[in-house]
Structure 1
Amino acid sequence: MFLAWNEIQKNKLRFVLIIGVLMLVAYLVFFLSGLANGLASLNREAVDKWEASAVVLTEESDKSLVASSLTIDEAEAVEADETAVLGQINAIARNDDQKANVSIFGIREDEFIMPEVTEGKAFSGENEVIASDTLKEDGFALGDVVELSSTEEKLEIVGFTEDARFNAAPVLYGDLATFQRVKFGEAAEANEDQINGLVLRTDDVSAATDKDELEAIEVETFIENLPGYTAQSLTLNFMIYFLFVISSVIVAIFLYVLTVQKISMFGVMKAQGVPSGYLARSVIAQTFILALIGVAVGLALTLITGLFLPAAVPVAFDIPTMLIYGAVLVVVAIAGAVFSVLTIVKIDPLKAIGG
């Protein structure tokens, strides 16, 4: 450790360059992890708030809530500890100045998926809705009467709730009658028993229903089948994993070049009796110090950047995940130093000093 730190102090510029490269790679890894978490939250916030075990949909819906259609009678035949009916439709909501894509949920006020109101009040009358608080950033406010692209019905925002986005769209929660008027229009009375799915809390998902036309889907599977969710997550995670490889290669190249430049010095040290193991440990220790500093600076810069990002940027930093990624970056950097260690072990003292 003494030899490693002493060399870093005497050759600050070259090692600052290595730290800078590692810092930039770490910064990109941390930011991408935050972006991956943020985009995932856009899709699943409302579902996570249910704290549910499964969702029951029709078999032919291909695990898509909007494509599923069943009756309340069918839903009531499902066995679970707790159940909550759910209707869902996508629309574009407009007030006087703004518009936004929204997902409208039809629910029952006395069931467990009813959201907690953080501002205003719960829906109680005709066409009243509780809205995701992200709509406030789009210019919507309490008391707004919003028009919808798919119907002539108008909805009044009477309350706001936190963390309520589904498939990247803010959610409007209303009662089942409101949902059915929005979805079916004049035919709402004829379809008053139609819903899209049933949300369950149960210990045994497989025993929830035995009807061939219905399928009980675990919540994580339901989320993974949301449009674009899996592809988006895999793409960002692949980029992060590829950056781990890049980090290892960069460190390997830098340290190998430095080792080649110091072959004669290592040769003299070995001729004086300094064992290869000591020199190898010195290189590993040096790499650990450089990687630790680079990762720490990258983490700090990422968190500082997060403080200044606008709300429109979907970034959510998960500190435990970032610490794991930081540890992985340090490990792959040390792995990249293996080539330098092998070079040191193979140095012939006589040849190195020109003997």
Structure 2
Amino acid sequence: MNIAWKEIKKNKVRFMILGSIVFLVSLLTFIISGLANGLSQDNAALIKDLPNGQFYMSKDANETYNMSRIDSSIQDKMLSKQKDAVAFSIQMGFLNDRAGKQQSVAFVTSTDSSLFKNVKKGEIVLDRSMEDKGIKIGDTLTNNQYSGKFIVKGFVDQRKFSHAPVAYINMDAYKEIYRVNEMQLIFVPGGDSTQVAGLQSFSNNQFLNTIASYKAEQMSLNMIVWFLVIISGMLFAIFFYMMNVQKIGLYGILKAIGVKTSALFKMMWTQMLFITVIALVLSVSLSQVFNMIAPKGMPFSLTTDTTVQLSIVFLIIGFIGATLSGIQIKKVEPLQAIQQGEI
């Protein structure tokens, strides 16, 4: 420990450069991860906030929710057998506000359930983001495919689907707008997957991956996050490898006077831990500040769990990178290393 600290003080610039790079990479990783989480909520909060359970859609829909149609007899049978089950439908559409301007929304309707807002005919409940567009409780909204009008009865928090605010409407209004009689999906909270003739079941995560925009978006962002994590591990391996090459003579002398290889590894791990912890403390602090001051319209959400998980991953990757670079320490022969020259 003492030797590790003395070397850090002696080679401040080298360790500061490595620490700065780790800080920048980890900060970028936290920011992108927060963006991925924020976009995930903005894309599918309606589904993500549901409890664990099973989603059912028709097999001939080819895992495309908006092509699914649940036969009414199957729906009635499942809802009668599963007390908490709910049938619901989602379709993208638009509303005309008081000024005649079209607002994109995701229309949602469902059977009676505490999991979804149930509204009366002629009423509508919107995601709270619609308030920012000037819509208020009591406003009258219209849709070109609907003969009646919608009166805004309230707002709900964090209900988005496909980056559009959710609009809960009555089932009769939904059927009139989209000229359908069947519901698209059935959700059974906490239920184990059971085979139902003509239907295909999905867990929450599996269903999210059937949403094309969600899968593509999250895959791209998560790939960037893990790519940055791997880069940080490579940086540690390269940095300590170069340091170790320059210290072959020193390692030979230390081994000659009885210092064990394990002690040399501990010295390297201590240096890695010191650099990584300081870099992570700074990057976590800045990313949390950004989380608080991020513009309201930016889909950014960096949770404590995500921050802790990524920090642990960075420490593990740093440990692996430093250890791989230190394999040469084990191979150092004291006499041969000393003969190669002083440090």
Please report the TM-score for the alignment, with normalisation by the length of structure 2. 0.87
Displacement of 1:152 in angstroms is: 5.9
Q: Which amino acid aligns with 2:338?
A: L
Query: Which residues of structure 2 form unaligned runs of 5+?
Result: none
Counterparts of 2:50 and 2:305, CA distance in 1: 24
Residue 157 of structure 1 aligns to a residue whose secondary structure is: strand
* Counterpart check, 1:164 vs 2:159: yes
The aligned counterpart of 2:108 is: 105
The 5 A counterparts of 1:212-227 are: 212=198, 214-227=199-212
Displacement of 1:67 in angstroms is: 1.3
Aligned pair in 2 of structure 1 residues 8, 149: CA closer, same or farther (>3 Å)?
A: farther
**Corresponding pairs, count:** 336
Q: Which amino acid aligns with 1:82?
A: D
* Counterpart check, 1:201 vs 2:201: no
Displacement of 1:19 in angstroms is: 0.8
Contact kept, 8 Å, 1:83 with 1:198, in 2: the verdict is yes
Displacement of 1:225 in angstroms is: 0.4
Contact kept, 8 Å, 1:98 with 1:138, in 2: the verdict is no
Task: Give the one of 109, 132, 140 matched to 1:145.
Answer: 140
Residue deviations 1:318-355 (CA, integer Å, cap 9, x gap): 3223212211111211222235423333253431446x
Aligned pair in 2 of structure 1 residues 24, 152: CA closer, same or farther (>3 Å)?
A: farther
Task: Give the one of 318, 322, 326 matched to 2:303.
Answer: 318
Aligned pair in 2 of structure 1 residues 88, 276: CA closer, same or farther (>3 Å)?
A: closer
The range that moved more, 78-87 or 278-287, is 78-87
Displacement of 1:37 in angstroms is: 1.7
Aligned pair in 2 of structure 1 residues 145, 227: CA closer, same or farther (>3 Å)?
A: farther
The aligned counterpart of 2:338 is: 350
Please report the TM-score for the alignment, with normalisation by the length of structure 1. 0.84
The 5 A counterparts of 1:1-355 are: 1-51=1-51, 53-78=53-78, 79-95=81-97, 96=99, 99-108=102-111, 110-115=112-117, 123-124=119-120, 126-148=121-143, 151=146, 153-184=148-179, 193-201=181-189, 203-207=191-195, 209=196, 211-212=197-198, 214-345=199-330, 346=332, 348-353=336-341
Displacement of 1:271 in angstroms is: 4.0
Displacement of 1:151 in angstroms is: 5.0
The range that moved more, 242-251 or 232-241, is 232-241
Aligned pair in 2 of structure 1 residues 18, 204: CA closer, same or farther (>3 Å)?
A: closer
The range that moved more, 293-302 or 254-263, is 254-263
Aligned pair in 2 of structure 1 residues 339, 123: CA closer, same or farther (>3 Å)?
A: closer
Counterparts of 1:246 and 1:338, CA distance in 2: 16
Displacement of 1:61 in angstroms is: 1.5
Contact kept, 8 Å, 2:89 with 2:110, in 1: the verdict is yes
**Percent of counterpart pairs with the same letter?**
22
Q: Which amino acid aligns with 2:116?
A: M
> What is the RMSD computed on CA atoms of the aligned residues?
2.5
Q: Which runs of 4+ in 1 moved over 6 A?
A: none
Residue deviations 1:168-203 (CA, integer Å, cap 9, x gap): 22111111112123223xxxxxx5x43323332363
Counterparts of 2:13 and 2:69, CA distance in 1: 66
Counterparts of 1:301 and 1:149, CA distance in 2: 47
Counterparts of 1:55 and 1:350, CA distance in 2: 68
The range that moved more, 22-31 or 273-282, is 273-282
Q: Which amino acid aligns with 1:53?
A: G
Query: Which residues of structure 1 form unaligned runs of 5+?
Result: 116-121, 185-190
Contact kept, 8 Å, 2:146 with 2:173, in 1: the verdict is no
Contact kept, 8 Å, 1:30 with 1:299, in 2: the verdict is yes
Q: Which amino acid aligns with 1:298?
A: S
Counterparts of 2:158 and 2:178, CA distance in 1: 24
Counterparts of 1:318 and 1:131, CA distance in 2: 26
